[in-house]
Amino acid sequence: MALASLPGTGRRLDSGVSAEGLWQKCVHEGRRAHRQAHYAEAEKHFNAALQEAESFGPLDPRLPVSLNDLGEFNQAQGKLTEAEKLLRTALAIRQQVLGPEHPTVAESLNNFAALRAAQGNYAEAEPLYRWALEVEEKALGQADPSVAATLNNLALLCKALGRYGDAELAFRRALVIWQQCLGPEHAHVATSLNNLAALYYTQGKPTEAEPFYHQALAIKEKALGPQHPEVATILNNLGELYRGQGKLAKRKHSTCRFSPSMRKPWGRSIPTWHQTFIIWLCFTTPGGAMPGRSRYTDVPWPFGRKALLHTTRTWLPSSGIWGNCTVTRALTPRQNCSTGELWPWTRSCWGLIIRKWRLT
């Protein structure tokens, strides 16, 4: 999220802090909290920044910055309808004020394409990504970190469409750019390594995937700390890889490390809590938790119950977790059935767990 050079307004608040200074502080604090997975705090700062930006005028360049930040945040939380309104408005303002070939217009195109991909509208997402890439390469050159970010997103789309060759080329190009521009130990480099590993794993190449996962894990732990959600994601990916290879001891080590990292320091605010219980269920239930022969006695219930309670009270009513099939996507690799066939069982499994703990 690039922050443009913006003019000050001269307006000052009663506290003596300029409106420009307050806006910049809210933007900075919101992004910091978002990076650190302090989601409630990030949302508060992003909303405050947007409120302040709106006071600068409807075409002020600070307004699309705040619209974009809050839109990306809402998308990450699964609030796609709210995110679309914000990102669409940010794109329209930037196109009107800055022209269609400005780099920040490309940023908005990239973000709007990512939203379309999250909505499953791949046909609309791909031309937006390519448009953003063309603008960025023309304005910034072919070796800019913004180009790498768009390449990474385009590669994820190609992977989802089964175009693995195109995905690998884009992932590798993004990796080289980030390594050259940001250094080999930057978190974005780890993101590329993790995505490359996931691509190889999807293609049935676990031996090629494993070293990339380990490199990504080492970088993320050093850059973000061992308890960051992105570290947990890589640990989960490693656990799935080991499970597929039958390396049970390594799998349990990965998933055991994964669980505590979701407990602290973010507590109730972390949106991936709802996945944690299901991942444990998949790893510990014999046969991948197939219908009709599920056994819940192997699940670490003290942790699973806490994750389940968090999901029920915090995320299930507000974020549409089940509607976007996050859990279905987590379970699908473990069964030879389609999403439609799996969904009724996932819903039934949820009901059984709730009844077991008398949560209803």
| CATH superfamily of this structure's domain 146-245 | Tetratricopeptide repeat domain (1.25.40.10)
Residue type present at position 40: A
Q: Are 269 and 38 in contact (CB under 8 A)?
A: yes
The residue ranges of every structural domain in the chain are 41-141, 146-245, 271-331+343-360
Q: Is the pLDDT of residue 298 over 50?
A: no
pTM of the shown model? 0.66
Query: What are the phi and psi torsion angles at 29 (to 5°)?
Result: -65, -35
Q: Is the pLDDT of residue 297 over 70?
A: no
Question: Between residues 176 and 320, which one has the greater pLDDT?
Answer: 176
Q: What is the pLDDT of residue 17?
A: 63
pLDDT tens digits for range 245-264: 776 545 444 444 544 444 44
When mean pLDDT is compared across 69-78, 85-94, 330-339, the lowest value belongs to 330-339
Q: What is the pLDDT of residue 247?
A: 60
pLDDT tens digits for range 70-88: 999 999 999 999 999 999 9
The three-class DSSP label of residue 16 is coil
Q: Is the pLDDT of residue 33 over 80?
A: yes
Q: Fold for 41-141, please state it.
A: 1.25.40
Cβ atoms within 10 Å of 272's Cβ, excluding its own: 18
pLDDT tens digits for range 120-155: 999 999 999 999 999 999 999 999 999 999 999 999
In this structure, the dihedral spanned by the alpha carbons of residues 232, 80, 145 and 220, taken in order and rounded to 10 degrees, is -10
Out of 101-105, 329-333, 346-350, the most confident range is 101-105
Mean pLDDT of the chain: 75
Question: Between residues 279 and 240, which one has the greater pLDDT?
Answer: 240
Q: Is the pLDDT of residue 113 over 60?
A: yes
- Check for a shared fold between 41-141 and 146-245: yes
Pairwise CA distance, residues 208 & 325, whole Å = 29
Question: Residue 186 has what DSSP assignment?
Answer: S
Q: What is the pLDDT of residue 270?
A: 39
Q: What is the pLDDT of residue 244?
A: 72
Question: Between residues 358 and 180, which one has the greater pLDDT?
Answer: 180
Mean pLDDT to the nearest integer, 200-227: 92
Pairwise CA distance, residues 285 & 243, whole Å = 12
**Is the link from the previous residue into 265 a cis peptide, with omega within 30 of 0?**
yes
Q: What is the pLDDT of residue 250?
A: 52
Q: Is the pLDDT of residue 279 over 50?
A: no
